[in-house]
Amino acid sequence: GAGVSQTPSNKVTEKGKYVELRCDPISGHTALYWYRQSLGQGPEFLIYFQGTGAADDSGLPNDRFFAVRPEGSVSTLKIQRTERGDSAVYLCASSVTASSGYTFGSGTRLTVV
């Protein structure tokens, strides 16, 4: 596609529930990133994929967070047992290579009630 597509654009879930957030990167971009943006803050790095593998997941806050990219294209960020503190905008970005500039998607706004 022309840009990075993220779905859903908004997600409201109850505390303790499981959620999946989807990212469809720009075609041909091998590098994919997830960032989290809390209200009034800049984006914070969560995880980086090169191809199908998670090259760096050092930003994932705890083991409730997990991400996959099984075919090297679409990625899914999975959050188990959601907590109110998980409420944020989750941004996905992709790039041609790891050292080239990012293109961000519009994000998924997650609200945990």
Partner 1 sequence: QQQVKQSPQSLIVQKGGISIINCAYENTAFDYFPWYQQFPGKGPALLIAIRPDVSEKKEGRFTISFNKSAKQFSLHIMDSQPGDSATYFCAATTSGTYKYIFGTGTRLKVLA
**Residue 30 touches partner 1, criterion: CB under 8 A:** no
Instruction: Tell which one of 1, 28, 42, 70 touches partner 1 (CB under 8 A).
Output: 42
Residues 87-106 contacting partner 1, CB under 8 A: 91, 93, 95, 98-99, 101-106
- Residue 48 makes contact with partner 1 by CB under 8 A: yes
Q: Does 40 bind partner 1 (CB under 8 A)?
A: yes
Q: Which of 38, 24, 13 is nearest to 94 (CA)?
A: 24
Inter-residue contact 108 to 90 (CB < 8 Å): yes
Can you tell me which of 8, 17, 41, 51 binds partner 1, judged by CB under 8 A? Answer: 41
- Find the length of the chain: 113
Cβ atoms 22, 13 nearer than 8 A: no
